[in-house]
Structure 1
Amino acid sequence: MAAAAGSASAGTIPVQQLRAGDHAFAGYGDDEAGRDVVAAYAWAGLANHEKVMVFAAPQLTEGEVWRRLDAPGPLLGAARDRGQLVVSSMRALIHPARGFTPRRQWQRIEEETDRALAEGYRGLRTYIDMHWVGDLDADIAVMMYRESHAEHLFTDRPYTEICAYDSRCFSPDVLAAMHRAHPCRLLPHLGALHTEHAANVVRLVGEADIATREQFTAAVREGLARSAEARRLTVDLSRVSFLSAACSVDLLRLATSAAHDLIEVRCRSAVARILRRADADHIPNLLISEVSP
């Protein structure tokens, strides 16, 4: 049996960095939001030779779901024809059971994971739109129990899951509880940048490009200001999926002008290469620490 590699992701991450063993929360607030997230998620699974199952909102027709996945392209069409990409529903998954129970859903997901492996895929990833709760007239408390007690589906298993919640259909209390119940939370769309500040640390998640450049530089400036007394700052870019040349130059300029004794940049190898091409190694108070995916 294949196993999930490494430990599961935690905290806020971009959809591009999901991996086997991850159980992620995604939120959206209108009918168009999140389309790029599910499409990117499906494409990544196909590229990684995983089986992908999309359990879309029940009110969508199958044709509408395929259009949201950019299905007219020949690659997705081929994946559909060979059974690597499947559009289904929660009702179909738990059949012949008429009502939802966590045990039945867990059983079926485990069966589908094993089936994917038997078919020669590296694992299974699912996208589950939580509109199924209303469609099956399921009890909210039972659904919440399922979400917060599903660790066995992911531990040492090649299974990845996104649970997508429409904020118009669930109460703020339920959304907050489900946000906490999932080990990782996704950025709402591709191209977004999320910022977190802690003691002498600024953490950035997502894409730092022309659209988010101002937000990126403002976050680094704030991190430098907050850590001025300590004269040490960690800029955590390990969850940055894209760093533009302009943003890298901005970061190095800010580091050069800072009075800090040490500015450590934690990042993946692709981001490290961009920074080094911008002469990061020639800044005395800057240290690049590469981290594994």
Structure 2
Amino acid sequence: MLASEEHHPGTLPVQHMGSGHHAFLCYDDDAPGWDVLAAFVWSGLARGEKVIVFGPPRLTEAQVRSRLQEAPGLLVASGYERAQLELSSMRELILPARRFTADRQWQRIVEESEAARDEGYTGLRTCIDMGWVADLGADLDMMMDRERRAGHLFTDGFYSEICAYDRRRFPEPVLDAMCRAHPQNLLPRIGHLRCRHDNGTVHVIGEADVATYGQFAQALADLLRTSAPPPGLSTRTVDLLRTGFLGAECATELVRLLDRAPADRPVRIRCSERHATLLCRIGADPAALDVTG
């Protein structure tokens, strides 16, 4: 894991990525990223968005299509048929220009967004594999500048983008800088869990289920044992707002945590209505829950 990923405040699972997000994804052989991209594509199609995938230049269109078929159901295949889902490349996007510039790429993305609006789509989302940098012989500094100054593309919430970086093809300082430059940082695979401690709060990001129970339970134990509440407050918090699936075992461990917390240093749980319903069913005190949404 990159140093910047561990503490990135915008880390989230791809299932929580919404319109207007500009996200960093770092992948390698251990986490090739195709399950994340397939879920991103599937979600966009289900929401009625136009989806364009700029795959790794080393792969053919048939190979990219095959990997995206990992998405569940027939929705991806039907997306091709309706032209809601397209496969492209950075070379194609910037034509007739041959050389990459940020202005040319931005112009084309704006044009694609306007076309998607005119066609009645609810948004435009793209997956951009950053292998295009080497493929086009582009300058790394120019690419990094584009990433840092691309915020205007996302301000109206219509456009969203994943920038996928193969960690084997970029220097680590570049990856760290690009992770920090993106408001969102995606978990590297579906089913992954990351627990981030921050000033008396543990943020539970990803899937809290049987496979990740040990990591989840350890994070709660660390919160109870070592985490101090913020200055002036006695309460510690478990934040589930970026948690996807919450399994019964992990939910039960949360209820036990509420019971174990000392009266002078209670724990509160920040969560969605869906997770609150589960927690209350297995015995959580509703007064200990801060329900959002």
TM-score normalised by length of structure 2: 0.91
Question: What is the Cα deviation at residue 76 of structure 1?
Answer: 1.8
Q: Structure 2: which 5+ runs fail to align? A: 1-7
Q: How many residues align?
A: 281
Amino acid at match of 1:151: G
Structure 2 CA distance, aligned partners of 1:61 and 1:155? 33
Distance 1:10 1:259, change over 3 A: closer
Aligned partners of 2:258 and 2:284 also within 8 Å: no
In the TM superposition, what is the alpha-carbon distance from 1:188 to its structure 2 partner?
Answer: 0.5
Match of 1:36 in 2: 35
Partner of 1:287: 288
Q: How does 1:120-269 map to 2 (within 5 A)?
A: 120-227=120-227, 231-261=234-264, 262-269=266-273
Amino acid at match of 1:23: H
Q: Is the alpha carbon distance of 1:227 and 1:32 closer, same or farther for their aligned partners in structure 2, counting shifts above 3 Å?
A: closer
**Aligned-residue CA RMSD in angstroms?**
1.8
* Matched residue SS, 2:66: helix
Distance (whole Å) between structure 1 residues aligned to residue 98 and residue 9 of structure 2: 34
What is the alpha-carbon distance in structure 2 between the residues aligned to residue 190 and residue 88 of structure 1?
24
**Offset at residue 126 of structure 1 (A):** 0.3
Where does structure 1 lack aligned partners over 5 or more consecutive residues?
1-8
* Residue aligning to 1:5: none
User: Partner of 1:49 in structure 2?
Assistant: 48
Contact 1:231/1:260 (8 A) holds in 2? no
Per-residue Cα deviation, 1:56-107 (whole angstroms, up to 9, x for no partner): 0011111111111117964322210111011110100111100000000000
Q: Percent identity?
A: 50
**CA distance in 1: counterparts of 2:23 and 2:136, whole angstroms:** 22
Return the offset for 1:55.
0.2
Q: Could you tell me how far apart the structure 2 residues matched to 1:84 and 1:169 are? A: 31
In the TM superposition, structure 1's runs of 4+ consecutive aligned residues that sit over 6 Å from their partners are none
The one-letter code matched in structure 1 to 2:156 is: D
Letter in 1 for 2:280: R
Offset, 1:31: 8.0
TM-score (norm 1): 0.91
Corresponding residue number in structure 1 for 2:3: none
Q: Does 1:26 align with 2:25?
A: yes
Q: Name the CA shift for 1:28/1:71 in 2 (closer, same or farther; >3 Å).
A: closer
The question of 1:104 aligning with 2:104 is answered: yes
Q: Deviations over 1:122-146 (max 9, x none)?
A: 0100000000000000000000010
